Amino acid sequence: MRRQPARSPGCLDRHCLPSPTGYRSGRCGGPAALLPLLVLTIWALAGAGLARAQAGASDVSAGDTPSDRGESITVSWEPAPGDRLVDGTVTGYRILRSRSPEGPFEAIGQASPGAARYDDADVENGIDYFYRVETLSLEGAVRSPVIGPAVAQAQWINTNQWNVFVVLVLLLGFNIYYIESIRAGQKPFIRKIAGLEAVNEAVGRATEMGRPILFVPGIQDMNDIQTVAGITILGHIARTVAEYDSQLVVPTSRALVMTTARETVREAYLSVGRPDSYDENNIYYVTDEQFGYVAGVNGYMVRNKPATCFYMGAFFAESLILAETSNSIGAIQVAGTAMPAQLPFFVAACDYTLIGEELFAASAYLSGEPKQLGSIKGQDVGKFLGMVSIVLGVALLTLASVVGWEPLVQAAEFVREFWSTELA
């Protein structure tokens, strides 16, 4: 897919084109009410012939692009009468700019037919600029009067993102509320998660067999939250292992993960009072290369035959290579990842799989700290919010598309806009 040059991403592509398949957006300055108007205009002009289409863009204005770091001025206009879907004559709009109202004006960019706005991102803050919009059509070019001065400046608050802020505050609020309520002594109900129960069982089995336990924390670095969740689960497994006094081996694909895993496992051994059993050589770095890492871990598996393999973190194509190799040595396998593309392979090849969100729930559950359970409850409230929005939004949109009653259409459009996050 190609992004069109000289258009503000997101906004124009999605909303401001008089697209036959979408409504016009309220946010980009073209209220939904304009669509019928546009249709009327086209009807009216259809009979008038091409002579009338000579007129160019009207109502041209220019001003600072809101909610940005400055260095951008937005030029907007009403599309020319000849700018329409069928038998259109307009081929585009050329934007001209000058530092003085007298000119000289130089062309700085072009917008497609159907566009009603152009963001000039090649300006400095605090300087006066003047603009003209030249409508290019098959009948020739028409220039608008000079508009200006316009000045770009930086803002402190991005008001375009108010909806993200609302959702953020809601989610964080619920999370903190439930964490605090557990701290105050409430006990939440958490349903059974199959993969979770298997963790202790799998550790026990390895101990009985006297064979090592392999923990693979994924192949991503500490900048992936999945790795963080995986390491938290590693902490729990390490505590159990330390109690049983069996061997835990953690090969990592990133040096930082190795470092963090060592801290976590050492802490776990310490917390059950067995600091002497901890051997940092069992947590080692292999290589950053995805398939080099897999080659190394595969080699470890077939030579040392661990009884249990955990995969907790971010995985890519290596998921199935690891799972099939470890299956061939008869190991019990528990996987957990939030990589949607790899879940099918873990589900097919492993004994237990923590699916997506379950990985994070498990990390909270196994952390051993009751208050972390509050975050699971917080996640659920988020889901509830999402589900309600989906039902409400789909119902509104469906009704609106059938009935077409304007307030309904606008309400539906509002729900949809509320969940839109593309930067305008």
Partner 1 sequence: MNRFHQIVEFVNDLDKRWVFLVVGLAVVTSTIFRLTFPEIPTPMVRSVYEKVESLPEGSRVILPFDYDPASEPELQPMANAFVRLCAERNLKMYFIALWPLGQNMVAGVIDDILQTEYPHLEYGRDYMDFGYKSGNEGVVAVILTDIKKLYTTDAHGTAIDSIPMMAGVRNIRGFDLILTVSAGYPGLKEWIQYAGTPGNIPVAGGCTAVQAPLLYPYYPDQLVGLMGGIKAAAEFEALVAEAYPKFQEDKDRFLTALVRMGPQTVTHLAIIFFIVLGNITFQILRRKRQQEALKR
Partner 2 sequence: MKRTIPLAITAIVGAVLVIAYFIPHPPFDGLREDFSIFFDIMATFAFILGGGNLIKMHGNRISRREEGWFFSLVTIVGFLLVLLVGLTKFGNPDGFRGSSVTASGSYFDHVYEYIFRPCGATMFALLAFYVASASFRAFRARNAEASILLLVAFIILLGRTFVGALLTSWLPDSLRFLTIPYLAEKIMVVLNFAGNRAIMIGIALGIVSTSLKVIIGIDRSYLGSD
Partner 3 sequence: MKRALWIIITGIIVAVLVVRTASGNMESPFAGIEGFGTWFAALLTLAIMSFLYDDNPLYRFAEHLFVGVSAAYWMVMGFWSTLVPNLLGKLWPSLTAQLFMPGLADTTHDPLWFMYFIPMAFGVLLLLRLFPKGGHLSRWALAFILGTTAGLRLIAFLTADFMGQIRSTLKSVAGLTPAVLPGGSPSFSFETMFWDLVAVIAIMAALCYFYFSKEHKGSFGAFSRIGIWVLMITFGAGFGYTVMGRIALLVGRIEFLLRDWLAVI
Residues in 167-186 at the binding interface with partner 2, rule: CB under 8 A: 168, 171-172, 175-176, 179
Compute the least distance from the CB of residue 219 to partner 1, in Å: 24
CB atoms within 10 A of CB 187: 9
Residue choice 36, 39, 59, 87 for contact with partner 1 (CB under 8 A):
87
Q: Which of residues 79-138 bind partner 3 (CB under 8 A)?
A: 85-86
Beta-strand pair 90-98/129-137: antiparallel
Residue choice 48, 317, 392, 395 for contact with partner 2 (CB under 8 A):
317
CA distances from 409 to 28, 153, 225, 310, 416 (A): 17, 35, 39, 51, 11
Bond preceding residue 149 cis, omega within 30 of 0: yes
Question: Is 74 a residue that touches partner 3 (CB under 8 A)?
Answer: no
Half-sphere exposure of 182 (CA within 13 A, CB side): 19
Build a one-symbol-per-residue string for 291-330: x at contacts with partner 1 by CB under 8 A, - elsewhere.
Answer: ---------------------------------x---x--
Residue choice 2, 210, 223, 407 for contact with partner 3 (CB under 8 A):
223
Question: Among the candidate windows 27-35, 107-115, 142-150, 353-361, which touches partner 1 by CB under 8 A?
Answer: 107-115
> Would you call 297 exposed, middle or buried from its count of C-beta atoms within 10 A (0-12, 13-18, 19+)?
buried
Question: Among the candidate windows 1-9, 234-242, 355-363, 401-409, which touches partner 1 by CB under 8 A?
Answer: 1-9
Residue choice 152, 219, 241, 323 for contact with partner 2 (CB under 8 A):
323
Question: Is 408 a residue that touches partner 3 (CB under 8 A)?
Answer: no
Query: In one letter, which amino acid is 337?
Result: T
> Would you call 226 exposed, middle or buried from its count of C-beta atoms within 10 A (0-12, 13-18, 19+)?
buried
Query: Could you tell me the two tokens for 262?
Result: 């060592």
Question: Is 158 a residue that touches partner 3 (CB under 8 A)?
Answer: no
Q: Are 60 and 133 in contact (CB under 8 A)?
A: yes
The number of residues that bind partner 1 (CB under 8 A) is 19
- Nearer to partner 1 among residue 114 and residue 148 (C-beta): 114
Question: Is 51 a residue that touches partner 1 (CB under 8 A)?
Answer: no
Q: How many residues does the chain have?
A: 424
Build a one-symbol-per-residue string for 328-357: x at contacts with partner 1 by CB under 8 A, - elsewhere.
Answer: x-----------------------------
Question: Is 188 a residue that touches partner 2 (CB under 8 A)?
Answer: no
Q: Are 185 and 191 in contact (CB under 8 A)?
A: no
- Residue ranges of E strands in 67-128: 73-78, 90-98, 106-111, 117-120
Residue choice 89, 264, 308, 326 for contact with partner 2 (CB under 8 A):
264
Contact positions vs partner 1 (CB under 8 A):
1-2, 4, 20, 85-92, 110, 112-114, 138, 324, 328
